[in-house]
Amino acid sequence: MDFNERVSSLLQTPATPLTWDSILKECTRLEQSYIHIRSEFQWALEYKRFQVESARGNRSAALIALKAAIATAPGNDDVLNDYKNYIGQGANVDNIVLIVSSKKNEAKAVDLARSFDRNNIQYLIVSGLDTAPIQQVRALQVDAPDSYEGRSRKVAAALTWIYENLGTRVNVLKVEDSMSLVNGRKLLENMKGLGAKAAYVGVPVSPAEFDRCAHWGQCQDPKLNRSVYGRPILRPWAVGEAYYLSAAAVEKIVFSLMRFPGQFDGEFYEDKLIGDVLVFEGVDLTPIKEFADFGLSDKPSLAAPNQLTVASGKKEAAASNSLASLASRPVSAKPNPLIAASSKKAAAAGNPLAALSSQPVLIKPNPLTAASSKSGLAADHPLAGLSSPGWTLITPR
């Protein structure tokens, strides 16, 4: 049989226990036999792998295959919807602080985490997979380097983990381990109210002051320490020490980097990557003047008082908090039709955060990070019969 006949036969084979192994082997044989496989066929091979692994109940392998299909066919909305349905769930938490750290900065991350614990603020500490784990109850390792140049992939992998495991409607405040909490009450109040007012909030970086050699001396790869940053500046973005992303913005970032993983190429600065992705997704930056508007500081702090238990007969003046004056206007960009509101899951027992053991969680997401669109194939095309049936939700473990 020629290539078209083999592909047609493969795609028409139902994924059952009797055919699982033979389907996977035929996918591999086709890739080994043909140097060039058009993307319109390659995504179908990956999707067939997804069908098999999903039927087997192998969620990790199924997601790897599905994301590979999405990256190969980034315009296929049907495949993207399969991804949403496969992992889709409401939020187990509404808001979370994402502390981005590394093994070498473990002490700083753990110290910052203690201040969040004292103020009953939900958080995660994220580090890369190529070093020892951070020894903290809410430490998460993702499949990304723990180096300076790996920070973009680390943050993207962490946002993807949150989206896939904590829920699709979680607002995220990303902070560096160098930050300190100075007002827990303000942080909690702002995170609760920001989602309805803005999608992307932070202290803007001035393009005129941007240092294209800021990474020199910090990269693990010595070549990068003498490589000038070469990507264009599209607009001001939120500086990486702390910025807020609504659930809608998180979804746009996850989908965009799954669909177009080439956005990572040559990107040393994760804060700029996030800003650039949101440019293409039509999400504006809502600027604030200083980190204090989040209740944070970039200066070291001995300890943050528990703002939830301090009796305060005073109300903070609205004028002192630039976030309080944010107009509840929609982001100027048109809303992404891919974003669907989902119901919240409030049961604490179902909260993956509550189940995190005292050992760091080890997550190995697919580095392809991708998403999709319809192929518009003719009725006689060998892929025309490939269905994308609804899938039973598998609750993340």
pTM: 0.78
Taking the C-alpha atoms of residue 352 and residue 92, their distance in angstroms, rounded to an integer, is 7
In the DSSP assignment, the letter for residue 4 is: H
pLDDT at site 301: 60
Cα 5 to chain centroid, rounded: 39
For the chain, the structural domain boundaries read 3-87, 95-303+329-344
Length of the chain: 397
pLDDT at site 341: 37
CB-CB contact of 261 with 368 (8 Å) = yes
Closest C-alpha to 366, from 46, 1, 100? 46
Residue 255: phi and psi, rounded to 5, are -65, -45
pLDDT at site 1: 87
Neighbouring CB atoms inside 10 A of 363's CB total 19
Q: 319 CB contacts (<8 Å, ≥6 apart)?
A: 325
CATH architecture of 95-303+329-344: Alpha-Beta Complex (3.90)
Note down pLDDT in tens along the chain; length 397 residues: 899 999 999 999 999 999 999 999 999 999 999 999 999 999 999 999 999 999 999 999 999 999 999 999 999 999 999 999 998 777 779 999 999 999 999 999 999 999 999 999 999 999 999 999 999 999 999 999 999 999 999 999 999 999 999 999 999 999 999 999 999 999 999 998 887 888 999 999 988 889 999 999 999 999 999 999 999 999 999 999 999 999 999 999 999 999 999 999 999 899 999 999 999 999 999 999 999 999 999 987 644 455 444 434 444 444 445 565 554 444 344 444 333 333 333 334 444 554 444 344 444 444 333 333 334 444 444 444 444 433 333 333 3
Strands (E), 120-266: 123-128, 139-142, 171-176, 180-181, 200-204, 238-245
Residue 141: phi and psi, rounded to 5, are -100, 135
Cα 117 to chain centroid, rounded: 23
Three-class secondary structure of residue 171 per DSSP: strand
